[in-house]
Amino acid sequence: MSLRASSRVPVPRAPLSLSAASPSRSLMRATPSRTGHDGLIPAHGGRGLTKALVDPDEVADAARWASSLRRVPITSRENGDLVMMGIGGFSPLTRFMGKEDWQSVCEKMLMADGTFWPVPITLSADSAPARRGEQIALEHRGEVVGVVEAEDCWEMGAAQRALECENVFRTTDPEHPGVRAVLNQRRFNIGGSVRVLSEGEFPTRYAGIYMRPEESRRKFAERGWRTIAALQLRNPMHRSHEYLAKIAIEVCDGVFIHSLVGNLKPGDIPADVRVRCIDALVKNYFPPENVMQGGYPLDMRYAGPREALLHALFRQNYGCTHMIVGRDHAGVGNYYGIFDSQYIFDNIPTPEDPAKRLLCQPLKIDWTFYCKKCDGPASLRTCPHTKFDRVVVSGTMVRKMLSDGMELPDHFGRPEVIDILREYYKGLTNKVEIKLGHAATMN
């Protein structure tokens, strides 16, 4: 669906100045800020960190202006994507994708200009914009958090939803949480440039953990790190995570334990509990000069291999040269093969322009566990013993056993972490059934 052109009240094309009587054009046309050379891996896309966040001293004027616009409520996932565009986490993207980008990303993992991108970043709405160029306020939990200038709009019919689900999630099963989100999204997708007015609760609720790419890059540079491995976490940090991180520390300057602080599916453990577990583990079992903890504002999509690529892409923007990829990265249930998220890195498009390629590399590590005969952590590549000698450790298994009131076997997790989790589960009044997939059981 194309947007019809319409006459608009002309506004001055002046430098960004939200104190002007009509700030809308300068707000939407603001040039994204970029980082200078910091000696680290370049941000994705070759233009530095591109950020759509309005300057702090201009937010009040921008918010007053945005309050006069038509409002569209956005989902938690869309809000996380918006914040990432605001802080430069999705560089070079500062817009919700139009139809051409959306389709190309779904089918080819490339934006229309040839930039590598594995997962569509879209905004849904119940109704189409009134005209091309309409500026729409984006509302989340009662707060206007941004503005989009509508440049494209198309209807997400059954065929379009199936195309996205088949390509991104490899299934159209509505039981898959990512598929369910696409099937339940609103009728239209709106593409266009954004300006971000608020990062929401992330900077305050997760103070000391929530981190912007420019902050992580500055801290890496201050420590003299040049090779940095990111450890993606959506579960409490258990013995296998600890082992993966320590392998990475041996071959990189440092490890960035990077936790998701957005929304998860029911039954997963909330971010504040996970952060306490990481704090306990890092304090007691890691040399502090070799590890750093941070948080990022996205929801999980559970897109398995495609999401692993997205995780690597924005870790590049955060300054990481590598990302640890273990078993069933970003998976759910039995929708993906155990190591599909590793294999996909060998089968991605390579744009002609090197700046448009994915530069962050996977650190592929086999299935890890605690082996009683080896008397320590091991993997399928290093341990010759049978599954009966192994204590299989997974976040899902930990959640399942604690939720069901079961005792955890020795070496399942560090005692400091297990104590925090037991306290959390003891306080739950409503429990969600946790299903074990093949990645959690080694079957």
Give the position of tokens 């923007």.
Answer: 317
Entry pTM: 0.88
pLDDT at 437: 53
Contact 331, 437 (CB under 8 A): yes
Q: What is the pLDDT of residues 80-108, one digit of tens each?
A: 999 999 999 999 999 999 999 999 999 99
Bond from prior residue into 92 cis (ω within 30 degrees of 0)? yes
Strand ranges for 316-434 from DSSP E? 322-325, 361-364, 368-371, 376-379, 390-391
> Sign of the CA dihedral 439, 241, 224, 92?
positive
- Residues with a catalytic annotation lie at 234-235
Cα–chain-centroid distance for residue 281? 23
DSSP 152: E
* pLDDT band, residue 13 (cuts 50/70/90): very low
Residue 368: its H or E element: strand 368-371
DSSP 110: B
pLDDT at 234: 79
Is the pLDDT at 357 greater than 70? The verdict is yes
Q: What is the pLDDT of residues 359-408, one digit of tens each?
A: 999 999 998 988 999 999 999 999 999 999 998 866 667 777 777 777 77
Written as six digits, the tokens of 59 are 């937010």
Contact 80, 298 (CB under 8 A): yes
Separation CA 413–CA 400 (nearest Å): 14
Residue type (1 letter), 396 = T
The mean pLDDT of 318-336, rounded to a whole number, is 94
Q: Determine phi and psi for 240, rounding to 5 degrees.
A: -65, -40
pLDDT at 15: 27
Mean pLDDT of the chain: 88
Strand ranges for 111-221 from DSSP E? 123-125, 135-140, 143-149, 152-155, 188-196
- 325: exposed, middle or buried (C-beta count within 10 Å: 0-12, 13-18, 19+)? buried
Is the pLDDT at 263 greater than 50? The verdict is yes
Domains (range + CATH), the chain: 24-199 (3.10.400.10), 214-441 (3.40.50.620)
CA-closest candidate to residue 362, choices 398, 389, 329, 404: 329
pLDDT at 14: 27
Q: Which of 76-90, 101-115, 204-218, 229-243 has the lowest mean pLDDT?
A: 229-243
Q: What is the pLDDT of residues 15-62, one digit of tens each?
A: 222 233 334 444 554 333 344 467 999 999 999 999 999 999 999 999
Contact 188, 155 (CB under 8 A): yes
Residue type (1 letter), 158 = A
Residues 6+ apart with CB under 8 A from 415: none
Is the pLDDT at 2 greater than 70? The verdict is no
Is the pLDDT at 293 greater than 50? The verdict is yes
pLDDT at 37: 60
CA-closest candidate to residue 110, choices 251, 278, 309: 309
Is the pLDDT at 299 greater than 60? The verdict is yes
CA–CA distances in Å: residue 204 to residues 31, 58, 139, 208 = 27, 20, 19, 9
Is the pLDDT at 319 greater than 50? The verdict is yes
